Structure 1
Amino acid sequence: MGRLFGTDGVRGLANRDLTAPLAMDLSVAAARVLGEAGAFEGHRPVAVVGRDPRASGEFLEAAVVAGLASAGVEVLRLGVLPTPAVAYLTHALDADLGVMLSASHNPAPDNGIKFFDRSGFKLPDEIEDRIEGALGQDWEAPTGSLVGRVRDAHGAVEQYVAHLLSTVPVSLHGLRVVVDCANGASSDVAPEALRRAGADVIAIGAAPDGLNINSGCGSTHLEALQKAVREHGADVGIANDGDADRCLAVTADGEPVDGDQIMAILAMDLLESGRLTGETVVATVMSNLGFKIAMRGAGIEVVETAVGDRYVLEAMKEGGFVFGGEQSGHVIMLDHATTGDGVLTGLHLIAAMARSGRPLDELAKVMTRLPQVLVNVKGVDKSRAGSSPELAKAVAEAEAELGGNGRVLIRPSGTEPMVRVMVEAASEEQASATADRLAEVVRTVLA
């Protein structure tokens, strides 16, 4: 059996892979492990629990709350809120543990559980491994007055929105924004924050019914946002994913602006204002080569990590850096948040437009994207992706063909059962041909 925790918590098909009993057991194990580690020393532990609007989140929330309370933890239910809101409120409400139920950008049938420590940071791998190891172990459950109590946390949305607004340096007055909330956790928060920051806001994908999250909308499906931006004559479009830890954007002409471009814009903005610690940005191996070239030209160092915002965050904390993120739109602004925050990112991207007086398409020209093709190969043994000599040989040959004008990256997905083949090249045609050839090698040797 592989490791239960992936790069972003425990995730799977709700009621099949991620069941109510597993959710309860994970919560009990988390409470026990953190208690044994001294996280609750000298006081009654408190946990906050939030979720995105998936239908399965209702029964999984009940299971998590039951597990925590049965382990003697006081529980504050936050209701439907973005993942970064749960991270922020864990610290702001002086809780010992935060729990978020979401499968982020995945379709509605999936769900997931992620844990935050009392500072609002995701738990380290070592603690997750100990939680996994504690599953199913015998324990002495508290009784009587020692069991945890459960109550709703009132005013959580307002507290989080007020925090977001406190970080925005300029008014967004005069800018028309379309925000696509992916029928997810930001459906109330994102439009409210943007309006109160001064923008003229049109919200789409903001009517969650528990089943329509990420369905033809949000950061994984920009078509609806592109159409709405053009129809409404908006200055910019902002797209979140289901739990709003991602942000992608669309220009007034409907052209996509990805996470690398957003990072480049915000990094330059931070550099100009003297707030880019160490003149360094942390990014993953998936960031476009054009991003790295642009940062180098601006005198900004790029520290590279494995894919996953947790690894970006680890490098930021280790180096004392304040800014980093992923091409997918996870952007971490450590001065304001402990994890990727799509609503926060969108606010600051539009603030950069307002402060500069320049449209988004001009700001995005700070970098030139090299053509990049990503092929997801399903139905293969992803555990052998890093050890196959045949695959290594094919990659070496492809990189030799590309020379210094491109690169190849093959990696197993951390959240889904597939191997990702990414190729950057001088032309779209060369990138596509190379990626398709390597994908066929992956299918053959990892079958």
Structure 2
Amino acid sequence: MTNKGIIPVKVSLTEGDFFTLWAPSWREHGAEWQAFLGAGDQLFMFRSPEELLVFLEEDTAHDLREHPKWNAFMAQGAHRVVPSDKQYFDIVGVPALLAGRASHENVSHVARCFKLARSLGDVTGTSSVQVFFSSHSLLANADRGSEHFSGPAGEAEWTAIGRVIVTNWDKVVDALDAAVTIKDVASADVASARTRIDEAVEAAKKAREAEEQRKKEEAAKIDPYDTTAWAAAGIDPVKISLDGRTVYTLRTYVEAKPVFLGKYGEIYTFSSSKSLVRWLVEHDDHDLAKVSTWEDIKQGANVGTLSVSVHPDNVYSFNGIARDIERGPEHVDTDQVLRAYELLADAADWAQDDSLNSFFLANPRMQDYISYITGSTRTTGYIPTPPFNEHVDAWNQLEQMLIKRFSKF
């Protein structure tokens, strides 16, 4: 069992609620230990967290000083003595919890109470408590959670634990009442301790809220696409809208060179993302199959976990570009044209042909026009002037060059 450190606990016994420190388990020199705040045969409990804090700050001798995490515990703020909801143990209320249904809350609280009560018995050497737990192994099943007590068999077992408790628990509580020592603390220091605890609790709350906000802001910065199988493999789905239609394909870059889903200059395209995934299951005769991470994508397709997620950077729309060119440069979306040209260039680069270069050699004014629109050069002195019919025709030719590379359109 790993070292769980030192925690504050609130314990309900016959005389009321009390507070102390518990070291559930730690290993030292090859042996396993557990302890509570106390000295010798005494186990100390206090009527409030502030009384517990005053006691700890009085530099009083006690056994927990030997705990390997004692200094780390004392280095925390004054709120270190305030138990959380999960650190509350209603020992006297266990029968009432078992009388209720085996809900998650009831089962988990009962399990925690059993664990604390048994630990109290072991640390104080209270034989009646030790014998009770060792004689009723059924109680350990509370650690299995509420699902263990579902159904007729589970409900019967929950009832059986209840019968054991109804018969014996009063004796356990009486033994624990007698085993602990309630410490009195000077009241003059308690009020100041209460103020410091409240301030520390508020400061811890603000720090926790600030950390949660920081995590939310960090999470908001994370691109959801980065968590997909595509991002992990470095192979991206591509969505292309052109001439009123939409097709899907895949692309990656190897040593800064584009590689499409396809072969011999033909880009394999699909009318839907689902048909793309279905095709991947049975086909490996394409250039992407040579990429080292392709098997990761193929495996996802085979087991049915792969779905197409297209990052905005891989969405290309040619729709409306020709119309905007005809209207004039001021109507053209520079980013749209730049991205469309990127796809045209990638396709030609992957196909290893000179079609794009040959086109611009035959249509130098179109190259000047694209350079002007995208701002990629400022040295030619070229300024587009109407009419723009030739530019529209040239752009339509570029689109047709891309379409001819598609397997389906």
Considering the TM-score relative to the shorter chain, is it more than 0.5?
no
Q: Which has the higher helix share?
A: 2
Structure label with greater radius of gyration: 2
Q: TM-score of the superposition, structure 2-length normalised?
A: 0.22
TM-score norm. by structure 1 comes to 0.21
